[in-house]
Structure 1
Amino acid sequence: MTQALLTPAHYPGLAGKVVFITGGGTGIGAALVTAFAAQRAQVAFVDIQREASLALCEQLAAQGLPRPDFIECDLRDIAALQRTIAGVAARHGDIAVLVNNAANDVRHRIEDVTPEFWDNGIAINQRPAFFAAQAVIAGMRRLGGGAIINFGSVGWKLATGGYPIYATAKASTHGLTRALARDLGPDNIRVNTVVPGWVMTEKQLSQWVDDAARAEIAKSQCLKGQLLPEHLASMVLFLASDAATMCSAQEFTVDGGWV
């Protein structure tokens, strides 16, 4: 059976809103940039993959969509990240939607982890989410509210081995979401976590998805078919929109019914 094509919902309230996405150049991030651009939002995103990011901007502009604002930035440099966010706000206006998507699930053995390797993994997978949120709060308050969407993972819930640093960082995302949601709720700022299953990005397909993995997916998902970046983007659009007005401090799992 051929997998049905996804028809994204239309959220008129997202048109013209300033959206900031981390790790937007490829994979799930590229699907997020594309989805928000299709809603006529003004998207700004950071990534370290310059060529892919610029190509994405050209592709979307050629389709007649608002050209995203790409800024090359290494998220391990928190000062640079926060300067970038300030620059986006200065060019386009206060940021209404923040999507903390960037991550690196590089595999590693417990025996090989040094303090430096640990700190680097946390600097990619954990720290930027908090400091990006810190940088957009004042603008969201001026706007009268906003949406912060963090990315978790089903990996740690399934006790997946082979990446303890990544698992630690992703597990902590849920605590960050709930703490921020409580503190920022009075300002009408909603904070939620999107929890992806095994998403068939080019990276996953080239590095990790073999016949055994496909068999595991087919056995474990309740729903048949591939989990695609666009499925995650649809959930993020909903959480960023007015349709999710009373959704905060929650986890929204998109995994085909695995967990």
Structure 2
Amino acid sequence: MNAIYPDLRDSSVFVTGGGSGIGAALTEGFLRQGARVAFCQRRDGAAFADEMEAATGNRPLFLSCDLADIPALERTLADAAEAHGPIRTLVNNAGNDQRHTLEEADEAFWEWMIAINLKAYFFACRAVAPSMKARGGGSIVNLSSISYMMGNAGYPIYTTANAGINGMTRSLARELGPARVRVNTLTPGWVLTEKQLDKWATDEGLRDHAARMCLPDHLRPEDMVGGTLFLASEASRAMTGQALVIDGGVVVTG
């Protein structure tokens, strides 16, 4: 159950990694607002687009793209704008939290992790900024993670990238603000996607994490939708350069 934001209807929205996990929930959330949604990912998203059309009556546009290939990402964003009009909302959602240690991570792995988890975010912002400025405004929502706030071990390059996302968001909010382009970060806690449940969500790990939460319920992908819609809409028109944390109360900010 999410609020309806009339200004999102018929608006052009682009979600990276929008066919699975948190991204799939975000794509569906925007579709249910009546937005024109395009999403990209490496694997085929046609079946997901079919599912969303059946569920919402609004079909998303799937565009295949490897986010580590910046020219391909730029072409994909241009194709989405050609199909749906200039992108009003960019959601940088795609990421990879592959576990690794300091000793295991070589230079090639560093480059790959940063390319997906930070570099693609920056160049997606760069690609949409001119048209957002030309139309008199827009909203960029960068998904980060509380993992860097918690100082978690087990994926140091991932936490480095997430800290970088927060810094990039603040700087771009300052740079793009005069054109009424808003840039905010949505910062989830541990969201139990299928990938998390399959790979890393052990009973012990879930118990330990639950003990750090103020609220008793683990997070689901759909828990990220309301905050993202708010940041995309004119309801948050005076909000930029901020990090909206949705984590069940693990890190208490302020």
Partner of 2:77: 85
* CA deviations over 1:143-164 (Å, ceiling 9, x no partner): 2100000011111111111111
Identity of aligned residues (%): 47
Q: Normalising by structure 2, what TM-score?
A: 0.97
The equivalences for 1:154-233 within 5 A come to 154-233=146-225
Q: Normalising by structure 1, what TM-score?
A: 0.95
Residue type matched to 1:255 in 2?
A: D
Q: Which runs of 5+ in 2 are unaligned?
A: none
Partner of 2:235: 243
Of 8, 24, 27, the residue aligned with 1:33 is 27
Deviates more, 1:133-142 or 1:194-203: 133-142
What is the rounded CA distance, in whole Å, between the counterparts of 2:54 and 2:224 in structure 1?
24
Partner of 1:134: 126
- Is the counterpart of residue 8 in structure 1 residue 2 in structure 2? yes
What is the rounded CA distance, in whole Å, between the counterparts of 1:223 and 1:201 in structure 2?
18
* CA deviations over 1:190-236 (Å, ceiling 9, x no partner): 00001000001001111111110221122111001121111111100
* Aligned-partner SS, 2:178: helix
Q: Which runs of 5+ in 1 are unaligned?
A: 1-6
* Aligned-partner SS, 1:98: strand
* Aligned-partner SS, 1:70: strand
Of 11, 16, 23, the residue aligned with 1:22 is 16
Aligned length: 251
Runs of at least 4 residues off by over 4 Å: none
**How far 1:64 moved relative to its partner?**
4.4
* Aligned-partner SS, 2:37: strand
What is the rounded CA distance, in whole Å, between the counterparts of 1:35 and 1:25 in structure 2?
12
* CA deviations over 1:46-96 (Å, ceiling 9, x no partner): 10121xx22221011113422101011000000000011111111211000
